[in-house]
Amino acid sequence: MDLSILQQTLQIAEKYIAADQTDPVVPHRQPAEWLADFDLPISQEGMPEEAFMQLLENVTMATNKTASTAFFNQLYGGRNMVAVAAEIISVITNVSLYTYKVGGLQILIEKEVIAQMLKKVGFENGEGAFAPGGSLTNLVAMAVARNEKSQTIKNMGHDGRKYIVYSAEGHYSITKNAGLLGIGRSNVKKINSDSMGRMDPEKLRKQIQTDLQQGLRPLIVVSTAGTTVMGAFDQFEEVDKIAKEFDLWHHVDGALGGSALLSERYKALMKGCHLADSVSWNAHKLMGVPLTASVVMFKEKGMMKKHISERAEYLFQSDDEDLNPGIGSIQCGRHNDALKVWAMWKWLGHEGYEKRINHIFDLTKYAAEKVKSDPSMRLILEPQCVTLCFQVLEKSSIEICNYLNQHGMAKVGYGESKGETFIRAAFPNHNLTEQDIDRFLEMVKLAGEKI
Ligand SMILES: Cc1ncc(COP(=O)(O)O)c(C=O)c1O
């Protein structure tokens, strides 16, 4: 019975994948409409297999198509079958990566992926850990930073000082995490960015000096490699100099842009990231593996154990600490996220990955040129990563995005910066082509005419 369910599931997957071509967008519907069509409530009796598998198929087919060439809404997309295969194996084997006793060989695979990432970042004596997503890898980095800089918070609780975090166009997880860590959301100070969306280092210095004069304790500066909306890369060397001058922890949020390190052509965007104390990098964004796969890395080995580890005799019973990654993790049970990253990287090699990263960065530049050459559109800023920020002249970007979504034409979102709203299309999908970009821009213009 179990295997038959797996086989039927693969058939459903086949149908769903085929529909990426024929029905690339699941039209937006209100919750009441879905609830009217789908028998979702869990009941006392359960269901017969055949009826259940039909329901599972219907649910699957009604699910958004993030791998289709009409999905530009988020910083992930596309589908790589090698990574999908590895993820299926992770689920089937279902080993938790906390101890070598349970994880075995898979622990060594995780170590290999982290070692490769550390090497790309340039942390020669560093360490790292997977966690479920960039928000959480940023949380881990900020928790370690807080403990390391305060010395007492970890064991004694908050010491009453007003700690301050700085970032420019940082991801909203930075503010959220400051709230979670007892730093306080209102103690995250936004530093102005320049015309390219990058943190202005002089403004950072001035803000730190002002805060020190007021008796505050500057704690962490978060610079961003690929900001969420504009895709800007902060200038890590300049920011790091200031962080060191005032004894701040420097974290680089490379959830989006860390993957530039895989490309000889684009790695200069990450110049100086090795100077920072910690870096986070999502493989589920530009590396194109399925959600979730995110790594936090520390320049100094031992940081995770020092600030995170907790005794658990029932769990950590054998083997070298180095082989028990649970010791440096905020989680207990840990999904095997590493296998899919390893599988895709092993399969592509450094060379193959480089081509893919070059492709999506180049494609975004192609899209920008198309927008610039069309008098009915306006480019907001030259893309530095894989997001295209643009407007259709005299049309509402919000209404265009809503029209495309409601009419099942494309999923794309809008962004806002310095008082302007614009369409923000993301091209992380390795399978996109120039023709897909042309078609998308035509659809945007068509929506502009219809609204
Ligand atoms: C710069 C940046 N950091 C962190 C995150 C959060 O990553 P996740 O969605 O994996 O939590 C994002 C997500 O878009 C991001 O753009």
What is the number of the ligand 1 atom nearest to the C-alpha of 224?
Answer: 1
Same domain, 37 and 91: no
> Is position 253 within any domain?
yes
Q: Which pLDDT value is given to residue 320?
A: 84
- In sequence order, the 6+-apart residues with CB closer than 8 A to the CB of 54 are none
Q: What is the pairing mode between strands 420-426 and 188-190?
A: unpaired
- In sequence order, the 6+-apart residues with CB closer than 8 A to the CB of 99 are 107, 315, 316, 317, 318, 319, 323, 324, 326
Same domain, 124 and 269: yes
> Is position 8 within any domain?
yes
Q: Which pLDDT value is given to residue 1?
A: 57
> Is position 168 within any domain?
yes
Task: Give the domain-ending residue among 287, 310, 343.
Answer: 343
Q: Which pLDDT value is given to residue 210?
A: 98
Same domain, 409 and 354: yes
Same domain, 12 and 149: no
- In sequence order, the 6+-apart residues with CB closer than 8 A to the CB of 330 are 131, 136, 139, 140, 143, 308
Nearest CA to ligand 1 atom 7: 134
Nearest CA to ligand 1 atom 16: 228
Same domain, 426 and 384: yes
Task: Give the domain-ending residue among 15, 47, 62.
Answer: 62
Same domain, 148 and 9: no
User: Which CATH number fits the domain that encloses residue 405?
Assistant: 3.90.1150.170
Same domain, 20 and 109: no
C-alpha 226 – ligand 1 centre gap (Å): 10
C-alpha 374 – ligand 1 centre gap (Å): 32
What is the number of the ligand 1 atom nearest to the C-alpha of 292?
Answer: 10
> Is position 111 within any domain?
yes
User: Which CATH number fits the domain that encloses residue 105?
Assistant: 3.40.640.10
344 touches 80 (CB < 8 A): yes
Q: How far apart are CA 244 and CA 375, in angstroms?
A: 47
C-alpha 253 – ligand 1 centre gap (Å): 8
Distance of CA 441 to the CA centre of its chain: 25
Same domain, 36 and 106: no
Q: What is the pTM of this model?
A: 0.97
* Rg of the chain on CA atoms, in Å: 23
Same domain, 367 and 319: no
- In sequence order, the 6+-apart residues with CB closer than 8 A to the CB of 432 are 69, 78, 360, 363
The alpha helices in 373-410, defined as continuous H runs, are: 397-406
> Is position 150 within any domain?
yes
The CA-CA-CA angle for residues 101, 98, 305, to 5°, reads: 115
Task: Give the domain-ending residue among 323, 343, 363.
Answer: 343
> Is position 311 within any domain?
yes
C-alpha 230 – ligand 1 centre gap (Å): 13
Q: How far apart are CA 44 and CA 29, in angstroms?
A: 29
- In sequence order, the 6+-apart residues with CB closer than 8 A to the CB of 21 are 68
> Is position 174 within any domain?
yes
Same domain, 90 and 28: no
Q: How far apart are CA 221 and CA 210, in angstroms?
A: 15
Distance of CA 391 to the CA centre of its chain: 25
C-alpha 67 – ligand 1 centre gap (Å): 18
Same domain, 104 and 249: yes
Q: How far apart are CA 433 and CA 430, in angstroms?
A: 8
Nearest CA to ligand 1 atom 4: 134
The ligand 1 site (C-beta within 6 Å) comprises: 75, 133-135, 138, 171, 173, 224, 226, 228, 253, 255-256, 282, 294
Same domain, 238 and 369: no
Reading the chain (451 residues) residue by residue, the pLDDT tens digits are 578 999 999 999 999 999 999 999 998 899 999 999 999 999 999 999 999 999 999 999 999 999 999 999 999 999 999 999 999 999 999 999 999 999 999 999 999 999 999 999 999 999 999 999 999 999 999 999 999 999 899 999 998 999 999 999 999 999 999 999 999 999 999 999 999 999 999 999 999 999 999 999 999 999 999 999 999 999 999 999 999 999 999 999 999 999 999 999 999 999 999 999 999 999 999 999 999 999 999 999 999 999 999 888 888 887 788 899 999 999 999 999 999 999 999 999 999 999 999 999 999 999 999 999 999 999 999 999 999 999 999 999 999 999 999 999 999 999 999 899 999 999 999 999 999 999 999 999 999 999 9
User: In the beta sheet, which residues pair with residue 25?
Assistant: none
Question: Which one of 73, 74, 135 would you pick to mutate in the ligand 1 pocket, going by the greatest count of ligand atoms within 8 A of its CB?
Answer: 135
DSSP one-letter string for 146-214: HHHHHSSHHHH---S--EEEEESS--HHHHHHHHHTTS-GGGEEEPPB-TTS-B-HHHHHHHHHHHHHT
User: In the beta sheet, which residues pair with residue 225?
Assistant: 233
C-alpha 223 – ligand 1 centre gap (Å): 13
Domain count along the chain: 3
What is the number of the ligand 1 atom nearest to the C-alpha of 257?
Answer: 1
Q: How far apart are CA 314 and CA 17, in angstroms?
A: 43
Domain extent at residue 37? 2-62
> Is position 75 within any domain?
no
